Amino acid sequence: MNAAARLRAEIAKGRIVMSPGAPDSVSARLVEKAGFPAVYMTGFGATASRIGTPDIGLLTQTEMTEHARNMARAVSIPIIADADTGYGGPSNIHRTVREYIQAGVAAIHLEDQVAPKRCGQLAGIRLIDAEENADRLRCAIEARGNDELVIIGRTDAMPAVGPDEAIRRAKLYQHAGVDLVFVDGIKRIAEVEAVAKAISGPKVVSIVDGNETTALTARDLEAMGFQVMLYAVTALFSATKAIADALANLKSAGTPRGGPPQHTYAEYSELVDLPFHQSLDDRYGR
């Protein structure tokens, strides 16, 4: 069973699929080690980890699919990957879908922003025509062919123009044939409730640290009818804060002692699978 089939099987169980975001492959391994059923390859985190900039559409298709491929090699759990706007017209979308399939991810989401896109939590989002985006999603579905890749239609209309248009677009994308719909840019519990009430069928919700939606638990969101929940920035923000604190302590104290908790060298070695590579060297090295 490939990654996409495993994700479909997880969704079919009827329990919400909790998918923390991972900015890189080692973070993805931590998500898997923590026991989550899937990991989210967040464009926000990928952009930060690769080039240290905000998520404003600076990474290319090849950079994103390379990032996805490396992450897929590092973990065995399904990966839900950000595919931005598809990186161009119909031929670009077709190639994007095929590249992500070859990378080994389980799902991608495609959004309805004007390129260059930006993070759904930022101001200044511009949308393409909804019908045009529905056609782009149909193109992605055709490109998938007989593969099992899960295609998620994402709309960024919530922060741009409000819940009514976001809900209208999500329903339109459902009719285009996507597997799940995803209203991004949600910041308030009332917005989560509006989406849950108005949109039937499989759907995704993203919970972003720092806004009031973090008060909602996985059980709450499952009861509302969501199938997949993303935590795009939890690991990233926790990691960068821990690094900043460790470096501040090192600078002031002149020693790493007294800083935030760390993995031991042995724990880190196990995380990056050093014992496996040592075994190979023991058996076949000279």
Q: What is the pLDDT of residues 147-184, one digit of tens each?
A: 999 999 999 999 999 999 999 999 999 999 999 999 99
How many structural domains are present in the chain?
A: 1
Q: Specify the DSSP class assigned to residue 215.
A: G
104: in domain? yes
97: in domain? yes
pLDDT classification of 281: cutoffs 50, 70, 90 = very high
Residues 6+ apart with CB under 8 A from 73: 25, 104
Instruction: Indicate if the pLDDT at residue 49 is higher than 80.
Output: yes
77: in domain? yes
225: in domain? yes
280: in domain? no
Q: Which two tokens stand for residue 262?
A: 């760390």
Q: What is the pLDDT of residues 184-221, one digit of tens each?
A: 999 999 999 999 999 999 999 999 999 999 999 999 99
277: in domain? no
pLDDT classification of 30: cutoffs 50, 70, 90 = very high
285: in domain? no
Q: In angstroms, what CA-CA distances link 214 with 55, 205, 249?
A: 21, 12, 30
User: Which among 35, 6, 10 has a CA at the least distance from the CA of 20?
Assistant: 35
78: in domain? yes
Give me the domain span that covers residue 77. Answer: 3-240
pLDDT classification of 118: cutoffs 50, 70, 90 = low
Q: What is the CATH number of the domain that holds 155?
A: 3.20.20.60
